[in-house]
Structure 1
Amino acid sequence: MSAWKSTPLSRSSQRWLSSLSSPQWCKSSRPLPPLLVLVVVVVVAASLTTVSAQVQCPDYIVDACEAWSDPGTWESNVPTDGDVVDIDKCVILDTDTANLGGITIQPTGSLVFEPGTGNKLKLRTKYIRVEGLLQIGSEQCRYEGKAVIELTGERGDHTDPDFGQKYIGVTNGGRLELHGERKMPWVKLDQTLHTLDSLADPYFDSKKGEMHEYWSDGINAVVINPDNGVVRASTSFNVGTNNRWWFEKDKPRFMSFLDWIPANHVVMLASQKSALSTVHNTTEILDSVEKALYCKIGKSRLRNLQPGETWVAIGVKEQPWRTIERVGRDVSTDGLRTASADLMMPWLNAAFYVSSSNHYTRAWFKDTRLIAGKYDDLAPVLNVTGDVRSWKSGLLDNMHYGKVTQGVDMRAEVAVLSRNILITSADVYPTCVGDDGVEIECHYADVNFAFGGQIKVLEGFGTAHLEGVSLERMGQLHVDNEVVVVVVVVVVVVVVVVVVVVVVVNLLLIQVENNVAYDIVGHCFHLLEGGEKNNVFRGNLVAGTKALDDSDETFEKRESSAFFITNPLTTIVNNVAAGGDAKGYTYAFPPAPLGASSGLGLMEEGEAKRTAFTAFDHNVAHSYFYSGIDLWKSMQASGTKLSWNSGYNFKADPRNESSPDVKCVMKMCTGMFLTMKPIIIIIIIIIIIIIFIIITIVIIIITSIIFLLLLLLIVILIIPHYNFHQF
């Protein structure tokens, strides 16, 4: 017993144990016995001791580091909202920051996120200029807490000549070290998985009853006994209406319903359009919801729900620790705000799922789904091609094919999108700001005016490693007439709802490996100027690239690609381009390197078209509207438009046009479900047939006219000389 007493617990462990010793329970529940609390303390302490003995983590904290929360660290006091912070020493971020005006980490300074499994740290600032070190975890000691860097502000708040606005920028000598938990980024299915709609005998499915036809504002509710799957109640409450008669009719009915729910029964709740009225008093309704879900007042996220947001909850009556709430705030590129939650009870072979969606601009649109069934049916074992023990269980929205058919690997890709280090942006949606600074109403198609954050690394940087990091709501277009989002040396990064993911500009020997990029507008991985040589893209998955809805003829808007390659000396191996509006892989070389890459001797005029590709092996492209691989284009010298006729003529010495020809080999690649190509071929054939018919008709008409003219000429020449008097 003395061993664990002498081992100090971290503050996060102390907070956790404190919450165990004084929980909030319903009257039918009982607190943990003291013996169980004692066992938990022993296990936690022993675990900490074991880890400490094996690996000396963290390996990046020095004794001289000072705490952010300590007023003595700063000249005046702990930074507050709007402060611009200069860091010239080692500072440990041990608390959430205020909404800062900016951070500059001087060459002698370091900003390090405090390690710890229980830590949840959020840094909010308009920019971070890294001349020294910004560190979250390390290669050997991965960060195990939850870290969020949120870039804030609108256009014009702060502009840096090197980085622009709303950025994490790494300067000459700067070091960016972000190391999240290790996760298998993506795998392939090894069996076909079916949707929730295919369930033969669910306990309940809102799509198969009257609830699916319910269109009024309010909350849908279902109560089920998880022991036997019996549905005790399913109904809707019109408590989101501003009509007084309907509201006063359904308010007491909803409150009575919540009070009636039997103990240990599962209740599923989902907002439909507007969850609660915005003009009538809903305090009593909120109190009733919280009593049903938490056995206490003041806990529900429903209290702070804003107009247009969606809300769902799943709970077990008188078991508040099982309650799950979700709020849909962010607008997807489909214009939807969606909230979803699931509750898995494998010990009862039961599973429950609820979701709610609203459209940002189309107020009439709604979609709610409440479904319950056997755990084995709703959450089948996922047979995949890799080790995904670090993933969490969930439910399927669509059918996913998982077989190799006639030698073609048609197995669906499965990716995990969550990471414990998140870099995101505020003030991106729903309000968009045009180039003139005027606020405009926007939806997913107005991404031209979205103002997300960016990560940019300048030449001469010290290090830039991103592992186990998620980038969300990032990217900028129409900033000084160029696309600006640069991430260098990227490993295992998830990107969700982004305008362009990785732009490599005038950089060599960059490795972009094992990333997942999802829901991207514009190109995803983009070599910009044609001088970027010897870069490697390996093991990346790109899904859901979207073309910009714009009349501009620039290629990045009409022909968005998962991989847009402008230099042949690029290694592209084991990547998957998994669907989008336009193309999977596009090779388009400029006559010579453009922009900052020009005049450096990287490629001579026309050299790119005479250079065989370094490697294009074992890549997959499927589910694209135009083509999986486009080799037909070249980039114009302007750098903004593409031309037909790539003009490839691969040579042994690309700088010598008279040198022998060589082969350019692209091997073991798979393409499927590329919808537009057959249509284009059919259309071309039809057009050729029509043209042939038209030409034939024209020839016949012209021939007939000529014949008639000749006949008329004969008549004119012969008839006047004929002697009619002979008759």
Structure 2
Amino acid sequence: ASFIFRVEQRTPAQQVRILRAWSRAAGRARRAALNRRVRLCVAGPCPERAPHLTPWRPGHDGSRLVVIGRGEALRLESSATFHSLRIQDGGALVFADQQQPIVLRARYILIQDGGALHIGSPRCPFRSRATISLYGKATEGQEVENYGKKFLGVDRGGTLELHGRKPLSWTLLDQTLYAGGLLYGSYQSEKRWSSRGLNIRIVDADTAQVVAAARFDTHLLADESRRLREFLATQAPGKVVAAAVGDSAAKSLTLETRLLLKELLHSKHILHLGYRQPWALVGILGGGQFSTTEERKQYQGTGTTGIAIAGRDFQTYEGINFQVTAFSGWVKGIPHNGFRVEVSKGIILNLVDEVTSWLPGDRIVIASTDYSMHQAEEFNLLPCSECKSNQVKIDGSPLYLHIGEVVDGIDMRAEVGLLTRNILIQGEMEDSCYGQNQCQFFSYDTFGGQIKIQRNFTSVHMAGVELKNMGQQILGSYPIHFHMTGDVDEKGGYESPTYLDNLAIHHCFSRCVAIHGTHGLLVRDKFY
């Protein structure tokens, strides 16, 4: 009564300020009490080691509505599937940090009224792999008030603590990456009919560039053997020679030419090459006897001989490993021959920063340095014992040029971002668009998961977390949404200010982080 009397003696503006201050003080007291309860539940730097946690292996039941409530503190030790999960009234769920990955699937997860979900902690980051997978279609089930569907929600009094490894979030290319991984690009040629005779490619071993290509019909035309000898005479020693028979090359191939090929390329099969026999060779012009690899097959009257393949690895002056391959054969009565020049043993990227925190199996994206954003490319990382601390090896071959230089004083270097984190929150997606999901604009499913944090939560911190297939084409449904939460730092009574740190948010369907009516939120070191 005395408080009401004192307020009524003030002007309206003063009354508003007093009531707001009282509300903030009450909120701070309430959060402090809830924080004490949470700390008692998961005492110590590593929450999963708390001695009073009950091991939990609930199994998979998509119809089960799970509630973790008062007096329950569970350590999730295996993957599980529920219809929904509510953590409330002081209940707590902690992910076990073990070698076996844990996947928790639910249509929604709601944390409220003193409930807490912990995966790692700031002093004890989660080391294994944990996934929270939100499933369900927009056309299924009922919405939860203030949240909708397919969500991880933190309501009044809820605690969400997700702390994974914090690798380097992103860096820059320190050397230009060419299409195909080679300065002049990869090379591929395949012929069937219309390539009768000996098909030749000359490759520069220093640059992997195909510098000459020719065909000699040594089956039908007698003068082609002379022309082949003259062609080889113009090539510099040390060049890579790739040869493949198309259809047949033996009938008019003279002994003089066969002996020359044996001498220059150390071929073991050329003297005995017969009618329609597949033959492929890769060697070094004027190289030693061990510089050549070749294969010959006998022609079968059935029209199928299989493919003769020859291939050798080389290294450019920049240290890039590449392979030259030639092939020749008959398949179901149709002749085949061709050549490939491509990077072998993976492409090594040179980066600006040390990336020893990036691990084999992680996925990266290299940004476009052209006008089209669609030239961004993703790759998985391979083991690389020969890599330096600022290098990684990728598993594929780039389709586009990615600049890694400063050009005329302008930094054109492509960003290289790490998409992988060991804690993953994802939406499970359908194969195509359906229902009322703006299918007139999208051919794919856009109803992803969402994380929504409401006012007066107890504690929210996320670090080292990956978000994939999140967000919806619905107002207020974003990958991460702080909705009218007010001050979320010391000013709002939070002992540890709220933060989002080292997140990777990708392949999502709406804006990445929505900060609505929220103040003091720290967002840092994120990659979108």
TM-score between both structures, scaled by the size of structure 2 = 0.51
CA distance in 1, matches of 2:292, 2:183: 14
Secondary structure, counterpart of 2:442 in structure 1: helix
Would the aligned equivalents of 1:107 and 1:174 in 2 still touch at CA under 8 Å? no
Higher strand share: 2
CA distance in 2, matches of 1:505, 1:232: 72
**Deviations, residues 218-256 of structure 1 (Å, cap 9, x unaligned):** xxxxx999x9996979xxxxxxxxxxxxxxx99xx8xx9
Would the aligned equivalents of 1:105 and 1:129 in 2 still touch at CA under 8 Å? yes
User: Residue 68 of structure 1 is aligned with which of 46, 49, 56?
Assistant: 56
Residue 94 to residue 451, structure 1, CA distance change in 2 (3 Å): same
Match of 2:432 in 1: 430
Residue 142 to residue 371, structure 1, CA distance change in 2 (3 Å): farther
Amino acid at match of 1:65: L
CA distance in 1, matches of 2:170, 2:513: 17
CA distance in 2, matches of 1:535, 1:198: 45
Amino acid at match of 1:149: I
CA distance in 2, matches of 1:137, 1:224: 57
Would the aligned equivalents of 1:453 and 1:473 in 2 still touch at CA under 8 Å? yes
Residue 168 to residue 524, structure 1, CA distance change in 2 (3 Å): closer
Secondary structure, counterpart of 1:432 in structure 2: coil
CA distance in 1, matches of 2:144, 2:511: 25
Aligned 1:676-691 pairs, distance under 5 A: none
Would the aligned equivalents of 1:79 and 1:85 in 2 still touch at CA under 8 Å? no
Residue 536 to residue 465, structure 1, CA distance change in 2 (3 Å): closer
Match of 1:81 in 2: 62
Whether 2:343 is the aligned partner of 1:373: answer yes
Residue 373 to residue 103, structure 1, CA distance change in 2 (3 Å): same
Match of 1:469 in 2: 465
Residue 151 to residue 514, structure 1, CA distance change in 2 (3 Å): closer
Residue 67 to residue 458, structure 1, CA distance change in 2 (3 Å): same
Match of 2:24 in 1: none
**Deviations, residues 547-578 of structure 1 (Å, cap 9, x unaligned):** xxxxxxxxxxxxxxxxxxxxxxxxxxxxxxxx
Match of 2:454 in 1: 458
Match of 1:669 in 2: none
Aligned 1:563-602 pairs, distance under 5 A: none
Secondary structure, counterpart of 2:121 in structure 1: coil
Match of 2:256 in 1: none
Whether 2:128 is the aligned partner of 1:145: answer yes
**Deviations, residues 186-221 of structure 1 (Å, cap 9, x unaligned):** 01222222221635586xx5x44359xxxxxxxxxx
Secondary structure, counterpart of 1:445 in structure 2: coil
Percentage identity across paired residues of the two chains:
25
Whether 2:94 is the aligned partner of 1:126: answer no
Residue 506 to residue 396, structure 1, CA distance change in 2 (3 Å): farther
Once the 2 structures are TM-superposed, how far is the Cα of residue 57 of structure 1 from its aligned partner?
7.6
Match of 1:104 in 2: 86
Once the 2 structures are TM-superposed, how far is the Cα of residue 515 of structure 1 from its aligned partner?
3.9
Whether 2:141 is the aligned partner of 1:157: answer yes
How many residue pairs get aligned? The number is 317
Once the 2 structures are TM-superposed, how far is the Cα of residue 403 of structure 1 from its aligned partner?
2.2
CA distance in 1, matches of 2:292, 2:53: 56
**Deviations, residues 398-417 of structure 1 (Å, cap 9, x unaligned):** 32222233333222111011
Amino acid at match of 2:166: R
Amino acid at match of 1:178: L
Match of 1:445 in 2: 442
Residue 231 to residue 62, structure 1, CA distance change in 2 (3 Å): farther
Once the 2 structures are TM-superposed, how far is the Cα of residue 140 of structure 1 from its aligned partner?
2.0
Amino acid at match of 1:91: L
User: Residue 90 of structure 1 is aligned with which of 56, 73, 91?
Assistant: 73
Once the 2 structures are TM-superposed, how far is the Cα of residue 516 of structure 1 from its aligned partner?
3.9
Whether 2:478 is the aligned partner of 1:485: answer yes
Whether 2:150 is the aligned partner of 1:166: answer yes
Would the aligned equivalents of 2:464 and 2:502 in 1 still touch at CA under 8 Å? no
Would the aligned equivalents of 2:130 and 2:423 in 1 still touch at CA under 8 Å? yes
Match of 2:178 in 1: 194
CA distance in 1, matches of 2:178, 2:483: 39
Aligned 1:549-560 pairs, distance under 5 A: none
CA distance in 1, matches of 2:358, 2:404: 21
Relative contact order, CA 8 A, sep 6+: which one is greater?
2
Residue 532 to residue 184, structure 1, CA distance change in 2 (3 Å): same
Residue 201 to residue 400, structure 1, CA distance change in 2 (3 Å): closer
CA distance in 1, matches of 2:292, 2:420: 31
Would the aligned equivalents of 1:60 and 1:138 in 2 still touch at CA under 8 Å? no
Once the 2 structures are TM-superposed, how far is the Cα of residue 519 of structure 1 from its aligned partner?
4.4
Would the aligned equivalents of 2:126 and 2:163 in 1 still touch at CA under 8 Å? yes
Whether 2:352 is the aligned partner of 1:384: answer yes
Once the 2 structures are TM-superposed, how far is the Cα of residue 173 of structure 1 from its aligned partner?
1.6
Would the aligned equivalents of 2:179 and 2:185 in 1 still touch at CA under 8 Å? no
Secondary structure, counterpart of 1:196 in structure 2: helix
CA distance in 1, matches of 2:95, 2:341: 41
Would the aligned equivalents of 2:478 and 2:514 in 1 still touch at CA under 8 Å? no
Match of 2:34 in 1: none
Amino acid at match of 2:442: A
Amino acid at match of 2:454: L
Match of 1:421 in 2: 423
Residue 123 to residue 389, structure 1, CA distance change in 2 (3 Å): closer
Secondary structure, counterpart of 1:380 in structure 2: strand
**Which residues of structure 1 form unaligned runs of 5+?**
1-55, 71-77, 212-222, 234-248, 267-347, 353-369, 488-501, 543-727
TM-score between both structures, scaled by the size of structure 1 = 0.38
Once the 2 structures are TM-superposed, how far is the Cα of residue 80 of structure 1 from its aligned partner?
2.5
Higher helix share: 1
Q: RMSD value over aligned CA atoms?
A: 4.2
Match of 2:40 in 1: none
Once the 2 structures are TM-superposed, how far is the Cα of residue 169 of structure 1 from its aligned partner?
0.8
**Which residues of structure 2 form unaligned runs of 5+?**
1-43, 193-279, 283-289, 297-301, 313-319, 325-339, 360-380, 382-392, 489-497
Amino acid at match of 1:146: R
